[in-house]
Structure 1
Amino acid sequence: MNSNVALTVLQGVILYPALLWKIYQLTRAPKDVARWMVTACLACFAAAYPFGFLAGNVNQPNPGPIVPLLFQHFFLCGLVYTLACFFLFSALPVAEARRRALLEAIPFAVAMLVMVLVAVFMPDVPPARYPLAGVLTFYLAADLYLTYGIASAYFFTRRYARGAGPRLARGLRVASVGFAISAVGGSTLVAVVLVHWTGAAIPWLLVQGTVFLVFPGALLLVIGLSYPGVATRLAAGRVWRQHLRTYHRLGPLWTALHEAFPEDALSRAPLNPWRDALSLRGVHRRYYRRAIECRDGLVRLSPYLAHLGDDGDLAERLGEALRSHARGETVAPEAMPVAMPDGDSLDDDVRELVTLSDSLRAVPA
């Protein structure tokens, strides 16, 4: 497998999961125009990918079959155009973004018109016998537009990243590096076409430079555009894991209080122990519900704790208070604060509940 094919395969491995992720995000916000544009950008990239294989993954200025080559470059140019629209609709008012998008459509349409005319008038012969002028005109139209669009996207990206949030800014900076590399790679492609048109020998270094600039630049583009969403999901995954772990750590405290005050349960459905231990669904809902039920139970038990006084370990006094409640003893209806947090947030409250729950494990039932 040569370097060109290897990089193309790697590109596909990263590209299609990124596209599926953006489609999923689009279903969550179908009215977000900017998200439509970035999804269309990756969709164009994904559509160009198989046509590149059908065209033989040729290096310029060598031609492949003209029809798949036309579709490949149509989608590549569409990628650049939708990318420009993404930044326009993200940074400008809708009316201004539409006006600028129409202006950006002019060079895109010109490039496509030239490529379509070349494809229509290309004789029906093997690619190796295509007229040199037609092939080079085709490539020159595509390369000039791609280079222009990618260079413009680089400046759009750098400007937009300055006012974006941390995750989006990091992703845009990665994408801007990809744009910069791809713009240089596009310039080398234009140089290859022009050198070949003059009849001179194309330097080997120039040919290799196009491979090792265009493809890595495209990979960085996909990674940069996908980074904000992936980073957000990873952060959400860490919160999900923390909530699941805390939910189970609250188990001893919740079990003791639930047995004493079953009527305080926010869910009337009986709890299956095996399902509760193994289920990975509804973690956040179960976490908040358990924390609230624990706090409600402590409020209900606080008169018994107040009757016992402040001396001794809280977990041991909690166990004694639960036993007093189970025996049906009557105490004065006075309350006392139990396991109160230093801060006002739910996380502070849950930390105190977890500490109490952990210490309750060591107390005899």
Structure 2
Amino acid sequence: MAPVLLAVLVVALWIGVLDKVVQVWRAPEDLPLRALAACVVSATVTFTVNLPPLRPLLDLAGAGARSLVINVGTMAAAYFLLVFFTYSMRGPSARRTVRRQAVPLAAAVLVALTAWALAPAAVRADPADTANGAHPHATVFVVAVLGYMAYAHAQSLRWSIAYVRAASTARLRRGLIIVSVAVCAFLIADATKSLLAVLQAVAEPAAGLVRVANLGYLTGVGVGTLAFVVGISYAAVTGMVVALPVWRAHRRHYRRLEPLWTAMHQAFPQLALGRVPATSWRARLGAGSTHYRFYRRVVEIRDGLVLLGPYYDAAAAPAGPESAEAHWARVIREALRAKAADSPVVEADPVLVPGGDDLESDARLLTGISRELARR
């Protein structure tokens, strides 16, 4: 594989690793997610150790060590992908099925290791190289590795199609369709390389045919890997893109609510809500903390406005052509002064400061009041 294409694949895979690590960190009990993360990590290690700067380092461990890591890593990635779809469709009750699915993997790895160990040193260095295709040990090695991967990818493709039909959202469905395309590409690559290995074992195909078949295999791997990374990250990335305007709005409202929140906090310090529970420590970091702090600030302001009830002047009328926000800022300011003087209004207004139809519209109204409150 060309170094530039290999580098692109490695970068894409590491992006996928970071994405899955964050997701597993947030939901460590999610079995399908854990299996998918293991799949991405296995594939990433496989491609990373094949980078030109790292290849000599792994070759120091012995001739063929890098080849073993690459091939066993790709088999593990195929297995964990199958585990992901199995858990996704059957849930936690599929643990026994997942253990049974490990049996073909173990058998294929054992056959491949045996063939590799018995092969001559030149073949052990790279048994999947087409130059070694006529050697029986190389044939057994390639067929064992890619035969298992073809089996796992075929099963994964069946599950992925079923999962696409059961997907609850369009975003998830699109991501799964891309993953299905990736699995198809992997399956084509597995079949192409396996057939080439068998053909080289029983005949001597033309050099041009070998090159074309090997190019088809590498193309399937490259296209499949890129599509796989895009597919598994699609839902998360598009979800973040869609959520970005909401995150920015909450961050902006949080800052603009500070004058009103400060006034409520000084008048009623006992209303400060508790911090993030220890069981929700993940919410302290990332975009989620912005939403949490925004919700907390709105709730604390509303609680303060409730306690200001005895100090509102029901007879307060708009002072000229002022806006609703300016009117309520003036009413709240006078109520805060009455609260500071411990002088509740006899005929207090039982109606609270009006709010919006939902939290977002309520925050916009409170933001306007906060802005007016800060001007005076």
TM-score, length of structure 2 as denominator length: 0.76
CA distance in 2, matches of 1:45, 1:86: 14
The question of whether the paired residues in 1 share the 8 Å contact of 2:325 and 2:365 is answered with no
1:266 is aligned to 2:256: no
Aligned partner (choices 188, 192, 208) of residue 192 of structure 2 = 188
Give the SS at the match of 2:166.
Answer: coil
Give the SS at the match of 1:284.
Answer: helix
Residue 107 of structure 1: how far off its partner (Å): 3.2
Deviations 1:219-269 (A, max 9, x none): 21123223334445555554432211111222344355556x35465279x
Over 3 Å counting, the alpha-carbon distance change for 1:299 and 1:65 in structure 2 is: same
Aligned partner (choices 213, 224, 234) of residue 217 of structure 1 = 224
CA distance in 2, matches of 1:282, 1:338: 29
1:147 is aligned to 2:150: yes
Give the SS at the match of 2:345.
Answer: coil
Range with greater deviation from structure 2 (349-358 or 292-301): 292-301
Residue 73 of structure 1: how far off its partner (Å): 1.0
CA distance in 2, matches of 1:84, 1:73: 17
CA distance in 1, matches of 2:92, 2:21: 22
Cross-structure match for 2:118: 121
Give the SS at the match of 2:349.
Answer: coil
Letter in 2 for 1:164: A
Cross-structure match for 2:247: 240
Cross-structure match for 1:317: 327
Range with greater deviation from structure 2 (238-247 or 148-157): 238-247
1:105 is aligned to 2:105: no
CA distance in 2, matches of 1:330, 1:118: 90
Letter in 1 for 2:33: R
Residue 178 of structure 1: how far off its partner (Å): 0.7
Cross-structure match for 2:301: 294
Residue 285 of structure 1: how far off its partner (Å): 4.0
Instruction: Report how many residues are paired.
Output: 342
CA distance in 2, matches of 1:155, 1:266: 53
Over 3 Å counting, the alpha-carbon distance change for 1:150 and 1:310 in structure 2 is: same
Identity rate, percent: 27
Over 3 Å counting, the alpha-carbon distance change for 1:18 and 1:352 in structure 2 is: same
Residue 182 of structure 1: how far off its partner (Å): 1.8
Deviations 1:106-145 (A, max 9, x none): 4323322321121111112475985622223322222222
CA distance in 1, matches of 2:175, 2:235: 6
Over 3 Å counting, the alpha-carbon distance change for 1:307 and 1:190 in structure 2 is: same
CA distance in 2, matches of 1:138, 1:55: 26
Over 3 Å counting, the alpha-carbon distance change for 1:124 and 1:337 in structure 2 is: same
Give the SS at the match of 2:204.
Answer: coil
Q: 5+ unaligned residues in a row in structure 2: which ranges?
A: 56-61, 275-286
CA distance in 1, matches of 2:52, 2:121: 17
CA distance in 1, matches of 2:313, 2:143: 83
Cross-structure match for 2:355: 341
Residue 105 of structure 1: how far off its partner (Å): 3.2
Q: 5+ unaligned residues in a row in structure 1: which ranges?
A: 58-63, 269-279
CA distance in 2, matches of 1:233, 1:109: 39
Residue 10 of structure 1: how far off its partner (Å): 1.3
Over 3 Å counting, the alpha-carbon distance change for 1:102 and 1:252 in structure 2 is: closer
1:164 is aligned to 2:167: yes
Counterparts of 1:18-33 in structure 2 under 5 Å?
18-33=16-31
Aligned partner (choices 65, 68, 82) of residue 66 of structure 2 = 68
TM-score, length of structure 1 as denominator length: 0.78
CA distance in 1, matches of 2:335, 2:95: 72
